Amino acid sequence: MLWLVLSVVLLSSGCFAQSDDEEAAQIWVDQYNQDVQGVYFDYVSADWTYNTNITDHNSQLANEKAAESAAFDNQKAIEANNWDWPNFQNESLKREFSKIADMGYAALSDEDFNNMTKLNSNMTTIYSTATVCNKPGDTNGTCYPLDPDLEEVMSSSRDWDELVWAWEGWRNESGRKMPDTYEQFAELLNKAAVINGYADNGEYWRSWYESADFRQICENLWLELKPLYQQLHAYVRSKLRDIYSGHTFPGTGHIPAHILGNMWAQSWLALEQEMRPYPNKTGLDVTDELIKQGYNNTGLFLLAEDFFVSLGMDPMVDNFWENSMIEKPTDGREVVCHASAWDFYNGIDFRIKQCTRVNTEWLITTHHEMGHIEYFMEYKHQPVQFRDGANPGFHEAIGDVIALSVSTPNHMESIGLLPEGADDPEVDMNFLMSEALKKIAFIPFGYLIDQWRWDLFGEEFDRNNYNGAWWDVRCRYQGISPPVTRSASGDFDAGAKYHVPANTPYIRYFVSYVLQYQFHKAMCDAANYVGPYHRCDVYKSNEAGDLLRAMMETGASRPWPEILEQMTGSRNMTAQPLIDYFQPLMDWLIEENADETLGWDETGCPVGSIVP
């Protein structure tokens, strides 16, 4: 044993050539797991403080802790590579070492890393503190933040000019101020990727999916789902033309981006009443009922907790209720309102940060974020490098698969939020439409953001066409177009979406929208459900909960195809369960769109909408 300890010390100091002594390696990695939890706790704590109180001081502290964490990761990666870990016989140990040995952005020099974190912080601050002034008809000079004011305008207003004001103003006050910063930021991301042996940052991000042909896999999934999206797009476009009959729509088939009920046109759920197949029957918007019954923000969280507990999972820990930020502070602090779940790496501190409002959308979002927390709690016993989703899409899918049950008429009726009959087939169709306005509308958006970033990292276009390339993918995949002329070089509309300045990869959401329907089918089968899957509610099913829990507790300890097979019986992602779920709506849309021209011009945006 003395030799083993001495081996660890000498190897850690770089005194030996690579060693294949797995017993010594295990001692080293056990010590690593003790040390890293403290380092990550300090970093996450500082980042939380900044996100819940945006000040220059807190930004500086967060950047300092990020630099300390990066220096630790860098040193441990160097030490890990003192072992000949690729030839270890213990597959779990080999996998853990492979993750520790990946330096990530810590591979940069101290100067470059500090610069990168400052650039990232600057963009996040611009995004989180941006406001839009000069509202039409407003004479009091009020300026409006994104959350809740501008988002409320986008979801509730049907005034074309007011929507243009909010849509254009947000992009001018956020993204337009970032392109030069983002160019420098992207260069540093690429620099780190190259140091780590990747062609660029896009290849580095794709490596997390452990599939050499991951980009083609995503393209194939999109092509499977495209016909369903085209049918929904044609139906919504025809209804919007009636609503905005006094305004001109592009002859190319694109929908103006500002009238889809959401700042980014990523969800069309705000249009649910106008798009309802049977308008005289109830929809699934339970906002009025939530308010009527006196629900507050905490009440939404308790509903989410109750669902997970009904599956046999753990309730939220005391720290969660004490430390989470579940509503926008009223003390004047600037905060990052974007909903997110946080793991503090000590096994007891898990939090959610979101500016909750009492409505249907936030009820679903709360279930989604709490799904992340349940995932954190299930794999907290794993080594730190395995405390993650099997792939990034798994984490996003967990909360959403629960939401597929929560959203059903049966479930809303069972918890007293939908008093009318849930067995009506017309109510069923209204439900499927509301789900499609959330899920199907999102699919091309979830796909295109990282298509654009991957090409940017790969230098397929330069700084002078950041915005031109952005609108190229939005016009091509989503079939939407800007309502006002945008500059290919002067504007940076991608920066108006949180995940771009925050440097959060986005393809995970596209992947999660496929995986969640595979998970849903597996859980419904485990619960012995018989019937159409869009009506399945696994609430109170211990069998479904056991299946989900077994998948979650493995974290990232094994390759994701193995974990997917354990859950669903298949090693491959497939869109078929999603297609089957929406088949009744697809059949209805095909009939409804009989006189509509499907699709849009995919070669580019309408002439004149993008200028140099």
Per-residue pLDDT of 512-556, as tens digits, reads 999 999 999 999 999 999 999 999 999 999 999 999 999 999 999
**Average pLDDT for 583-611:** 97
Q: Do residues 205 and 505 touch, judged by C-beta distance below 8 A?
A: yes
Number of Cα atoms under 13 Å in the Cβ half of residue 268: 34
- Lowest model confidence (mean pLDDT) among 2-11, 41-50, 218-227: 2-11
| Alpha carbon distance 85, 25 (integer Å) | 9
3-state secondary structure of 394: helix
Give the model's pLDDT for residue 18. Answer: 66
Give the model's pLDDT for residue 80. Answer: 95
- Lowest model confidence (mean pLDDT) among 9-18, 312-321, 348-357, 361-370: 9-18
| Alpha carbon distance 438, 603 (integer Å) | 26
Give the model's pLDDT for residue 14. Answer: 44
Give the model's pLDDT for residue 241. Answer: 97
Q: What's this model's pTM, rounded to 2 decimal places?
A: 0.91
**Average pLDDT for 549-567:** 96
Give the model's pLDDT for residue 139. Answer: 81
Give the model's pLDDT for residue 399. Answer: 84
Cα 71 vs. chain centroid, distance in angstroms? 28
Enclosing H/E stretch for 297: helix 297-310
Which residue ranges make up each domain of the chain? 26-130+174-197
Q: What's the mean per-residue pLDDT of the chain?
A: 94
Q: Could you tell me the CA-to-CA distances from 391 to 21, 139, 573 in Å, in that order?
A: 30, 50, 12
Q: Do residues 511 and 392 touch, judged by C-beta distance below 8 A?
A: yes
| Alpha carbon distance 550, 609 (integer Å) | 50
Question: What confidence tier does 5 reach under pLDDT thresholds 50, 70, 90?
Answer: very low
Residue whose entry in the numeric block shows the structure tokens 């009025």: 288
User: Residues with Cβ < 8 Å from 341, sequence gap 6 or more?
Assistant: 350, 351, 352, 353, 369, 370, 372, 373, 376
The answer on whether 95 is annotated among ligand-binding residues is: no
Nearest to 437 by CA among 457, 407, 416, 415: 407
Give the model's pLDDT for residue 9. Answer: 40
The answer on whether 453 is annotated among ligand-binding residues is: no
Per-residue pLDDT of 491-514, as tens digits, reads 999 999 999 999 999 999 999 999
Give the model's pLDDT for residue 1. Answer: 41
Per-residue pLDDT of 418-463, as tens digits, reads 876 556 889 899 999 999 999 999 999 999 999 999 999 999 999 9
The answer on whether 258 is annotated among ligand-binding residues is: no
User: Residues with Cβ < 8 Å from 364, sequence gap 6 or more?
Assistant: 403, 406, 407, 438
| Alpha carbon distance 308, 157 (integer Å) | 35
Number of Cα atoms under 13 Å in the Cβ half of residue 181: 25
First and final C-alpha spacing in the chain? 69
Q: Inform me whether the pLDDT recorded for 3 exceeds 60.
A: no
| Alpha carbon distance 326, 302 (integer Å) | 12
The answer on whether 372 is annotated among ligand-binding residues is: yes
**Average pLDDT for 88-115:** 94
Per-residue pLDDT of 178-233, as tens digits, reads 999 999 999 999 999 999 999 999 999 999 999 989 999 999 999 999 999 999 99
Give the model's pLDDT for residue 15. Answer: 43
Give the model's pLDDT for residue 4. Answer: 38
Give the model's pLDDT for residue 204. Answer: 97
Q: Inform me whether the pLDDT recorded for 465 exceeds 60.
A: yes
Question: In whole angstroms, how large is the CA radius of gyration of the chain?
Answer: 25
Residues known to be catalytic: 369, 499
**Average pLDDT for 558-568:** 96
Which of left, alpha, beta for 138 (phi over 0: left; psi -120 to 50: alpha)?
beta
For residue 221, the 8-state DSSP code is: H
The answer on whether 351 is annotated among ligand-binding residues is: no
**Average pLDDT for 244-257:** 95
3-state secondary structure of 46: helix
Give the model's pLDDT for residue 422. Answer: 56
Give the model's pLDDT for residue 421. Answer: 55
List helix spans (H) across 103-178: 110-129, 151-156, 160-173
